[in-house]
Amino acid sequence: MDTIYVNGMKFYGYHGVFAEETKLGQRFNVDVAVGLDLKEAGRTDNLELSVNYAEIYNSVKEIVEGQPVKLVETLAETIAASLLARFPLIEETTVKVIKPDPPIPGHYDSVAVEIKRTRHE
């Protein structure tokens, strides 16, 4: 299985458990890896045999900047399900949703959730 990565996508959304998160919003970073067979795309130079990176980005953007949810786990699940549904060539995906500035006290770089989903689950 081959892999396409779209890393470091940055968005602003209104997700969270606390009222200030859904009112003020915050930054979200997303990394996506999708697994598929890229052999024929590489041999033929045909985008139809691959997945357009811009379309992956736009799919993720639509979700993260869209309807608010409480949990980053829900964001990750929604992104994974959307990618598997929208792109039939994708066999599996790993989605990492990073919250750089969650409203919790302490010193840390970020909090994140990473999930892996396959077409055949």
Q: Which residues belong to the active site?
A: 99
Q: Nearest Cα to 14, choosing from 77, 68, 76?
A: 68
State the number of CA atoms in the 13 A half-sphere of 58 facing the CB.
7
User: What is the distance between the alpha carbons of residues 120 and 19, in angstroms, rounded to a whole number?
Assistant: 37
